[in-house]
Amino acid sequence: MTYFKSKRIRCTLLCLLCHFFLVGNSSAQSEYIIINNLEIFGNKKTKSDLILREMDLKVNDTIHIASVSARFERNEKLLMNTGLFNLVKINIKNWNENAQSIDLAIEVVESWYIFPLPIFNLADRNLNVWWSEFNGSLKRVNYGMRFVYVNFSGNKDNLKLTLQGCYTRRILLQYERPYINRRKTIGITGRYFFDHRREFAFETRNNKQNFYKNQEQINYRSAKAILSMHFRPKVEGFHEWLIKYERNVVTDSILDYNPRFFNGKSRLKYFEIDYVFRRERRDNRFYPIKGNYLETEIQKLGLGIFNNLNKLYTSLSYAHYFPISERLNLEMRIKGQREWIRGQHPYFGLEALGYGEDYVRGYEFYVIDGSDFLLSRNSLRFKFFDRLFDLKKKMPVKSYRLFPVTLWLTFNADIGKSYNYLFNEDNAFNNRWLFGKGIGLDLVLYYKYAFQIEYSINHLNEKGVFLHIRSDF
């Protein structure tokens, strides 16, 4: 028997349950029910105790009848946010009228866990820079293979191996174990990788990166070893402590182009320690509709061992999602960073706006380096298409046969500023407020893959169509 019930069946069960308790028994106690048992179905790989750890429904919990549906929905989303499942449904299996207790069935459809994935990604900051400024050159593409074993032992642990060539040669090995103790609150991650490049950005002029290149030799070598421990006492809260060793070597001739790249040296090595706290209250971390997210970080680069770097950063990120109606919602995100030790830092590591998700829309072709920055990104989003397709045997992988597709029309407005007291020559966007606005189309697949097409305008009245793949912040 399957427990993937439709919403109509679930509502009928809940209505019958509420009718029995509220009409058949008038006592205040009858307004509550007790969870007698939790049964999990469909988890061929994932351990049942891990699934129970990710939920806030437990055996012997007492639930008010009026909140049953909301609690089911919340726990379905908590399990979906693990990224381990394509579909989750929680339904009532049995209820005991005399004991006022229920048995719950949690049925999951697991994702495909073994991914031998080809690598074909861009060396440039985004697709727009690669296509417009470098004519879509295949020489600026990384290719290779990434072997990912998600849920390696059924405990949400991941094993990754990357073999990459072309623009950046990289070998990476990583293992992540989210829980190593019985209470499932402490986890560890180990990672080692090295990069070799013939070309790298050595300065910023007119808020554009200039690249040093010599195709006859490797001009940039980097190696990193990272060990981290994280503590997750509850579903929403996450603490992480990290120590990293990094070693970078560039060709000696870079001193003729930018002697401050490593502050007069061709080698830079340092230790780094970080502390990160995250609080996750979004309904879906890949494309949220409601809830909020908080992240704060303290980062110390240089521990006095090599005397190459001495930096202390703090950063704060916050996002809030306001559902206005079933189809309309507002997304507001803000992020700030500050560097507390003012010194003659090298050009290396002064990345602020224009990298990753830290950009003002309309300025995708620019970088605004600095030690401090503030960024606010806002979108009013309207859902005009939402459909679940059943691909059946057309999709050979069973876990992906149910194919949800959602389309959103977005209206965007961003503001940001980066403070730079070190490298301001010929960089007019430094130390000033930047404004961007526009409209966009977001395509969301499987509730966790989001692709964005945006038409944006910046303060110079420059217009353009920009493509992005959304991350989870």
pLDDT at 408 over 60: yes
Q: What is the pLDDT of residue 23?
A: 47
Q: Torsions phi, psi of 382, nearest 5? A: -120, 120
Which listed CATH number (2.102.10.10, 2.40.160.50, 3.40.720.10, 3.30.70.100) goes with 178-469? Answer: 2.40.160.50
pLDDT at 284 over 70: yes
What is the percent of the chain where pLDDT is above 90? Answer: 53
DSSP, res 112: P
Work out the number of other CB atoms within 10 angstroms of the CB of residue 206: 10
Q: What is the pLDDT of residue 271?
A: 96
H or E element that contains 52: helix 48-53
What average pLDDT is seen over the chain?
Answer: 87
How does residue 5 score in pLDDT terms, banded at 50, 70 and 90?
Answer: very low
SS3 call for 315: strand
Structure tokens at 141: 């593409």
Q: Which of 242, 281, 45, 241 is nearest to 158 (CA)?
A: 45
CATH architecture of 7-110: Roll (3.10)
Q: What is the pLDDT of residue 306?
A: 86
H or E element that contains 75: helix 68-80
The mean pLDDT of 143-167, rounded to a whole number, is 85
pLDDT at 8 over 50: no
pLDDT at 6 over 50: no
Residue ranges covered by each domain of the chain:
7-110, 178-469
The mean pLDDT of 261-282, rounded to a whole number, is 94
What are the tens digits of pLDDT across the range 200-244?
A: 999 999 999 999 988 888 999 999 999 999 998 887 899 999 999
- Name residue 54's beta-bridge partners: none
Q: What is the value of pTM for the model shown?
A: 0.74
What are the tens digits of pLDDT across the range 165-210?
A: 888 899 999 999 888 887 878 999 999 999 999 999 999 999 999 9
Q: What is the pLDDT of residue 413?
A: 97
Which has the higher per-residue pLDDT, 437 or 47?
437
- Parallel, antiparallel, or unpaired for β 328-339 and 168-177? unpaired
H or E element that contains 23: helix 7-24
pLDDT at 15 over 70: no
What are the tens digits of pLDDT across the range 326-368?
A: 999 999 999 999 999 998 999 999 999 999 889 999 999 999 9
What is the percent of the chain where pLDDT is above 70? Answer: 93
How does residue 472 score in pLDDT terms, banded at 50, 70 and 90?
Answer: low
The CA distance from 351 to 356, in Å, is: 10
How does residue 303 score in pLDDT terms, banded at 50, 70 and 90?
Answer: very high
Residue 71 Cα to chain centre, angstroms: 25
CA angle 143, 138, 362 (to 5 degrees): 100
Q: What is the pLDDT of residue 83?
A: 80
Q: How many CA atoms lie within 13 A of 319 on its CB side?
A: 25
Burial of 461 by CB count in 10 Å (0-12 exposed, 13-18 middle, 19+ buried)? exposed
Lowest-confidence segment of 178-182, 259-263, 350-354, 376-380 by average pLDDT: 178-182
